[in-house]
Amino acid sequence: MAAIAAILLVVGCVLPWYRLGGDGQLSQTVFNGFSSGDVTGTGILAFLAGLATLALIALPYAAGDRPLGVDRWIVFALLAGAAIVGVVLWIPNVLVAPEGILPDRAYGFWITLVGAIMLARSAYDIALEPPRR
């Protein structure tokens, strides 16, 4: 589940997080998780957490038979926390016109939010596993 969550985080950051206008005569304003300027790009935290999660999942395969202390639930929980912070800190930037963050206009934001929640749930599931020797 952590791998699927990481893929959702990475893909969701590239898709639109906010879209306003485009109806009739209005020009369209589109932001994604990396957008800066008027809108802070805190979605980069979610993107980096997704990439780090994918690297963390691949790490035991690269290390071979050696036990690793880094692929524990606390690391996954910290990455999930970073992803959630990246998504939540982005919300105040669009409170001026919240209709641009509706699911039919900003599907990238919602995909990233689902990925962050899934990653947190994955960290919880990993914490319940018996310790490896």
Which pLDDT value is given to residue 18?
Answer: 84
Question: Tens digits of per-residue pLDDT, 58-102?
Answer: 887 777 766 666 667 888 899 999 999 988 888 887 777 778 778
- How much of the chain, in percent, has pLDDT values that exceed 70? 87
Q: Count the Cβ atoms, other than its own, within 10 Å of residue 19.
A: 21
List the domain boundaries for the chain. 2-14+40-128
| Placement of tokens 């990993």 in the chain | 126
Contacts by residues 87-90 (CB-CB < 8 Å, ≥ 24 positions apart): 87/42, 87/43, 87/46, 87/112, 87/113, 87/116, 89/40, 89/42, 89/45, 90/17, 90/33, 90/39, 90/40, 90/42, 90/43
Q: Is the pTM of this model over 0.85?
A: no
Whether residue 37 is predicted with pLDDT greater than 60 in this model: the reply is no
| Placement of tokens 């899934």 in the chain | 118
Q: Which of 115, 64, 58, 129 is nearest to 87 (CA)?
A: 115
Q: Find the farthest-apart pair of alpha carbons in the chain and give their distance in angstroms, rounded.
A: 64
Q: CA-CA distance, 65 to 34, in Å (whole number)? A: 38
pLDDT band of 27, cuts 50, 70, 90: confident
